[in-house]
Amino acid sequence: MAQGHMIPAVDMARLLADGGATISFITTPINAARIRPIIDRIHNSALPIRFIELRFPSAEAAENLLKPFVEALPLLCPQLESYLQQSSTPKPDCIIADNWHYWTVEVARKFGIPRLVFHGQSCFSIYCSTVLRRRKMLDEIEDDFQVFELPEMPEKIEVMKAQVWTIGPLSLYNKHVEDRASRGKPSSIDGGVLLQWLNGKTSNSVILVSFGSISRNAFPQIIEIGYALEASKIPFIWVVKETDKWMSEFEERTRLTGLVIRGWAPQSVILSHEAVGGFMTHCGWNSTLEAIAAGVPMVTWPRFGDQFLNERMVVDVLKVGVAVGVKLPPTKVVMAAGEKGLRVVRREEVEEAVRKLMGRGEEAEERRKRVREFGVMASKAMEDGGSSFHNLKDLINFAASHST
Residues 229-288 that bind ligand UDP (CB under 6 A): 239, 264-265, 267-268, 284-287
- Provide the minimum distance between the beta carbon of 332 and ligand UDP in the complex, in angstroms, as a whole number: 17
Nearest to ligand UDP of 123, 137 (CB atom): 123
Reduced 3-state DSSP string for the chain:
CCHHHHHHHHHHHHHHHHCCCCEEEEECHHHHHHCHHHHHHHHCCCCCEEEEECCCCCCHHHCCCCHHHHHHHHHHHHHHHHHHHCCCCCCCCCEEEECCCCCHHHHHHHHCCCEEEECCCCHHHHHHHHHHHHCCHHHHCCCCCCCCCCCCCCCCCCCCHHHCCCCCCHHHHCCCHHHHHCCCCCCCCCHHHHHHHHHCCCCCCEEEEECCCCCCCCHHHHHHHHHHHHHHCCCEEEEECCCCHHHHHHHHHCCCCEEEEECCCCHHHHHCCCCEEEEEECCCHHHHHHHHHCCCCEEECCCCCCHHHHHHHHHHHCCCEEECCCCCCHHHHHHHHHHHCCCCCCHHHHHHHHHHHHCCCHHHHHHHHHHHHHHHHHHHHHCCCCHHHHHHHHHHHHHHHCCC
Q: How many residues in the shown chain lie near ligand UDP by CB under 6 A?
A: 21
Residues 51-110 that bind ligand UDP (CB under 6 A): none
Residue 126 interacts with ligand UDP (CB under 6 A): yes or no: no
Residue 290 interacts with ligand UDP (CB under 6 A): yes or no: yes
Q: What b/e readout covers 328-350, taking b as 16+ CB neighbours within 10 angstroms?
A: bebeebbeeeeeeeeebbebeeb
Among 1, 3, 182, 308, interactor with ligand UDP by CB under 6 A: 3
Nearest to ligand UDP of 234, 237 (CB atom): 237
- Provide the minimum distance between the beta carbon of 215 and ligand UDP in the complex, in angstroms, as a whole number: 6
- Provide the minimum distance between the beta carbon of 142 and ligand UDP in the complex, in angstroms, as a whole number: 29
Nearest to ligand UDP of 250, 264 (CB atom): 264
Amino acid making up residue 396: I
Q: Which stretch binds ligand UDP (CB under 6 A): 14-22, 155-163, 210-218, 327-335?
A: 210-218
- Provide the minimum distance between the beta carbon of 208 and ligand UDP in the complex, in angstroms, as a whole number: 10
- Provide the minimum distance between the beta carbon of 241 and ligand UDP in the complex, in angstroms, as a whole number: 8
Binding characters for ligand UDP, 155-184, by CB under 6 A (x = yes): ----------------------------xx
Nearest to ligand UDP of 181, 364 (CB atom): 181
Q: How far apart are alpha carbons 137 and 73 in whole angstroms?
A: 29
- Provide the minimum distance between the beta carbon of 380 and ligand UDP in the complex, in angstroms, as a whole number: 21
Nearest to ligand UDP of 183, 368 (CB atom): 183
Among 47, 72, 214, 334, interactor with ligand UDP by CB under 6 A: 214
206-210-212 Cα angle (round to 5): 145
Nearest to ligand UDP of 94, 282 (CB atom): 282
- Provide the minimum distance between the beta carbon of 237 and ligand UDP in the complex, in angstroms, as a whole number: 10
Q: Could you count the other beta carbons within 10 Å of the beta carbon of residue 68?
A: 9
Q: Which stretch binds ligand UDP (CB under 6 A): 212-220, 226-234, 250-258, 292-300?
A: 212-220
Residues 33-52 that bind ligand UDP (CB under 6 A): none
Nearest to ligand UDP of 92, 169 (CB atom): 169
Nearest to ligand UDP of 7, 16 (CB atom): 7
Binding characters for ligand UDP, 300-339, by CB under 6 A (x = yes): ----------------------------------------
- Provide the minimum distance between the beta carbon of 25 and ligand UDP in the complex, in angstroms, as a whole number: 17
Q: Give the Å distances, CA to CA, from 226 to 244, 345, 356.
A: 12, 12, 17
Nearest to ligand UDP of 108, 167 (CB atom): 167
Q: Which residues bind ligand UDP (CB under 6 A)?
A: 2-4, 7, 183-184, 210, 212-215, 239, 264-265, 267-268, 284-287, 290
